[in-house]
Amino acid sequence: MAGKKIAVLATGGTLAGKAASRGDNIGYTAAQLGIEELLAAIPALAGTPIVAEQVAQVDSKDMSFGLWSQLALRCAHWLAQEDVSGLVITHGTDTLEETAYFLQSVLGPAKPVVLTCAMRPATALAPDGPQNIVDALAVAAAEGARGVVAVCAGTIHGAHDVAKQHTYRLDAFSSGDAGPIGYVEEGRLRLLRDWPSPHASAPALYSKSTAATRWPRVEIVMNYAGASAAIVEALVAQGVDGLVAAGTGNGTLHHELEAALLDAQSRGVKVVRATRCVQGRVLSPAGARLPDSDGLSPVKARIALMLELLA
């Protein structure tokens, strides 16, 4: 958008990672380089109107509720600026989908909020971060773009569907059955479907989430061969507020685990049934005793449940 700038909010990740040797793509420390240094190293950005802010410097495996709140507040600040067309957030790949879903839920922005990342550290022989940043900026500046999306390896994913599905490849993310929103090709967007909704699904929760001193405790328990009641019983004894069951297949649960979850539900613990399958959603039969996650993966169902409980 002519005359408008893009705010780049940095949170760390591999994109800002450093290895001792240039050939090392895996033996590095994430979140080492500052955003000013990373942007200055991309000649293609010369003259691009950018304002950069280092919100955090973390390996995203250590993402916290406090940091989410802080990030949501900084996003709200920059989104409210007339002369800002959109935001880019640099983030580690490991919990990127969770942050994307959280921000879409609490902000539902009418402007684009574009999370981007890297699978290789900045010191790699061929780092992927610089191109991902350039692509993310193209999306943040695009006419009509809106909502929280992720841009990685030239692909635009919506916050609801994006999930990391590969441990090593540069194209590590997928939108599953839904498919990506589109692609970024030489700075141009090729769109396949609509942007995320410009409405927060948890509007009243935003200020509460930022002020909350105690986030609800919601844990994920998985079904597998030989699963038992033990973990659920231990969590209930500790006073857990909610449980997401990552079931097998169509959300099926070992009978012992299911009995423990039904017991937890009867004691007031909120229980949601998702699936550990990477593709597809739980389709509940009529009369199902545990509600399904409405198509959300276990980690996103957990966030949805935390926001519901926070209300």
User: Among all residues, which ones are annotated catalytic?
Assistant: 14
**Among 12-20, 132-140, 232-240, 254-262, the segment contacting ligand SIN (CB under 6 A):** 12-20
> Is 116 a binder of ligand SIN (CB under 6 A)?
no
Question: Which token pair is 295?
Answer: 């198509």
Minimum distance from CB of 66 to ligand SIN (Å)? 17
Determine, following the binding rule CB under 6 A, whether residue 30 of this chain makes contact with ligand SIN.
yes
Per-residue CA distances from 285 to 251, 260, 269, 277, 288 (Å):
11, 20, 22, 18, 6
- Is the CB of 60 or the CB of 155 nearer to ligand SIN? 60
Q: Which residue do the tokens 């009509």 mark? A: 144
Q: What angle do CA 141, 195, 77 make, to 5 degrees?
A: 55
What is the spatial distance between Cα 159 and Cα 100, in angstroms, rounded to a whole number? 5
CA-based torsion, 208, 89, 104, 166: positive or negative: negative
CA-based end-to-end distance of the chain: 36
* Residue from 25, 32, 60, 69 in contact with ligand SIN (CB under 6 A): 60
CB of 30 to ligand SIN, least distance (A): 4
Tell me if 14 contacts ligand SIN by CB under 6 A. yes
Check residue 130 for interaction with ligand SIN (CB under 6 A).
no
Contacts of 307 (CB under 8 A, 6+ apart): 102, 105, 106, 202, 205, 209
Site string for ligand SIN, 175-214 (x = CB under 6 A): ----------------------------------------
Q: Quick one: how far is CA 37 from the chain centroid? A: 25
Using rule CB under 6 A, residue 97 touches ligand SIN: no
Minimum CB separation of residue 124 from ligand SIN in Å reads 12
User: In the bound complex, what is the minimum distance in angstroms from residue 70's beta carbon to ligand SIN?
Assistant: 16
Residues that bind ligand SIN (CB under 6 A): 12-14, 30, 59-61, 92-94, 117, 119
